[in-house]
């Protein structure tokens, strides 16, 4: 089972296996439903302060999504300095989460990143930028050396991307590499060679207007099992990176889809220090990590994928209070019972021994933060 707190729930996957084939699978979630109702009746800032206490996974992304939704509902804006600080924190959290999962789930703790250093770096950065995590902060902010922040992260990640390594793409496709991550890509490609997955066109488009309608009409039931206008949607590291040239070249070379998905995770992690380093006011319109196009609704690209918060605020006894709060997490998109995992695995011919490992690797590649359990039920 992947690392993760049981309080956050987990995804339970049951494979039906018969005659060298995965004949079916069921996906059930024990993740708590309607937990955002705990914010109802609270003052907006009190709700913001409680978000990281309730949402342990990607707590910074959850806080920023909540802030953006509340600010758009109240009709107020954060300063440009605060927006930059939030985006830096969001990228930093994504880097932390991806690095932790790579180290624990893919490298199995051997070599690679010193997680204590990574956690210390992030904790220091969060403390320094905590001023931005309040509703509509002004511009009275301490200056921060983003180059130094990025360099520290790059140093921490260096064991994954050796300095004397030829360019990652060339090393990957030549097979001559000392990079532990490139070796994982190569080993995944060999491990699952010849196993053809089912076709899943990763639909990623959904409009805020559609979400608003579904949230109003279906409420928490929609949050638990959301679907887009065009059916099941995936929102993940893969969907953010699948159009990259390296991924397209890997596909042309018939690299296995599981290896491609892990490669997408690696490419995103590798670029995060550079993305942090180039942040500045001129970058505000170029890194659309957070956006809100309807009052009371915001979308954030978190480590696991697109996160949506929707809030309604009314005046009660002369004070602004939250009257409605809803959250659509990327995990619920990505592990819909009829979604990506089921469509890719149902009908796949694979040995019984490999069926579990194939499923687990796909789960980790789709959502690198979720806790999960896989059960294989063999039928005679």
Q: For the segment 265-300, what is each residue's pLDDT rounded down to a tens digit?
A: 999 999 999 999 988 656 654 667 888 889 999 999
Give 231's strand partners.
228
Give the per-residue pLDDT at 81: 86
Question: Is 176 labeled as ligand-binding?
Answer: no
Q: How far is CA 130 from CA 11, 51, 79, 85, 344, in A?
A: 32, 14, 14, 9, 41
Mean pLDDT for 180-207 is 88
> Comparing 149-153, 180-184, 286-290, 322-326, which segment has the lowest mean pLDDT?
286-290
- % of residues, the chain, pLDDT over 90: 69
Listing from the earlier edge strand, what are the strands of the sheet with 22-29?
22-29, 11-17, 372-378
pLDDT band at 94 (very low <50, low <70, confident <90, very high): very high
Give the per-residue pLDDT at 268: 94
Does residue 7 register a pLDDT over 70? no
Give the per-residue pLDDT at 321: 97
Q: For the segment 19-46, what is each residue's pLDDT rounded down to a tens digit?
A: 899 999 999 998 888 899 999 999 999 9
pLDDT band at 342 (very low <50, low <70, confident <90, very high): very high
Mean pLDDT for 88-115 is 90
Q: For the segment 47-90, what is each residue's pLDDT rounded down to a tens digit?
A: 999 999 999 889 999 999 999 999 999 999 888 888 889 999 99
Q: Which residue has the tokens 């758009």?
A: 72
* Tokens describing residue 121: 């770096």
More confident: 173 or 29: 29
Give the per-residue pLDDT at 131: 93
Does residue 364 register a pLDDT over 60? yes
Does residue 10 register a pLDDT over 50? yes
Listing from the earlier edge strand, what are the strands of the sheet with 290-294?
290-294, 297-302, 305-316, 319-328
Three-state DSSP state, 172: helix
d(CA 181, CA 315): 53
Question: Is 227 labeled as ligand-binding?
Answer: no
pLDDT band at 164 (very low <50, low <70, confident <90, very high): low
pLDDT band at 334 (very low <50, low <70, confident <90, very high): very high
Does residue 92 register a pLDDT over 50? yes
Mean pLDDT for 331-335 is 94
Give 300's strand partners.
290, 307
Cβ-based neighbour number of residue 37 at 10 Å: 14
In the chain the domains, ranked by start, together with CATH numbers, are 6-378 (1.10.645.10)
For β-strands 22-29 and 290-294, DSSP reports them as unpaired
Give the per-residue pLDDT at 63: 97
Mean pLDDT for 137-155 is 84
Calculate helix-pair angle for 59-74, 80-101, nearest 10 degrees. Answer: 150
pTM over 0.85: yes
């Amino acid at each position: 089972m992947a690392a993760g707190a049981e309080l956050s729930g987990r995804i339970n996957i049951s494979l039906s296996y018969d005659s060298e084939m995965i004949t079916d699978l069921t996906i059930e979630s024990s993740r708590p439903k309607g937990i955002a109702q705990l914010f109802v009746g609270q003052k907006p800032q009190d709700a913001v302060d409680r978000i990281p206490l309730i949402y342990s996974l990607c707590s910074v992304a959850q806080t920023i999504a909540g802030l953006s939704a509340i600010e758009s509902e109240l009709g107020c804006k954060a300063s440009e300095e605060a927006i930059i600080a939030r985006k830096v924190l969001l990228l930093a959290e994504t880097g932390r989460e991806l690095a932790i999962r790579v180290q624990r789930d893919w490298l199995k703790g051997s070599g690679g990143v010193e997680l204590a250093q990574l956690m210390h770096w992030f904790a220091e950065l969060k403390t320094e930028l905590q001023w931005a995590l309040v509703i509509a902060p002004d511009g009275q902010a301490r200056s921060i050396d983003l180059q130094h922040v990025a360099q520290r992260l790059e140093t921490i990640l260096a064991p994954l991307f050796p300095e004397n390594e030829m360019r990652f793409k060339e090393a990957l496709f030549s097979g001559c590499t000392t990079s532990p991550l490139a070796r994982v890509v190569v080993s995944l490609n060999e491990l699952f060679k010849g196993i053809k997955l089912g076709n899943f066109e990763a639909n990623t488009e959904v409009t805020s207007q559609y979400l608003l309608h579904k949230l109003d009409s279906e409420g928490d039931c929609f949050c638990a099992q959301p679907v887009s206008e065009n059916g099941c949607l995936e929102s993940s590291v893969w969907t953010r990176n699948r159009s990259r040239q390296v991924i397209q070249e890997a596909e042309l070379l018939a690299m296995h889809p599981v290896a491609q998905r892990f490669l997408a995770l690696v490419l995103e992690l590798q670029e995060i220090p550079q993305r942090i380093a180039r942040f500045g006011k001129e970058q505000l319109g170029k890194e659309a990590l957070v956006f809100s196009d309807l009052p009371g609704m915001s979308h954030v690209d978190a480590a696991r994928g697109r996160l949506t918060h929707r809030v309604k605020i009314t005046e009660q006894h002369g004070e602004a209070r939250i009257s409605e709060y809803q959250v659509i997490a990327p995990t619920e998109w990505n592990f819909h019972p009829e979604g990506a995992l089921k469509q890719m695995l149902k009908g796949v011919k694979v040995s019984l021994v490999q069926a579990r490992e194939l499923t687990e690797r796909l789960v980790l590649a789709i959502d690198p933060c979720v806790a999960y359990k896989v059960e294989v039920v063999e039928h005679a």
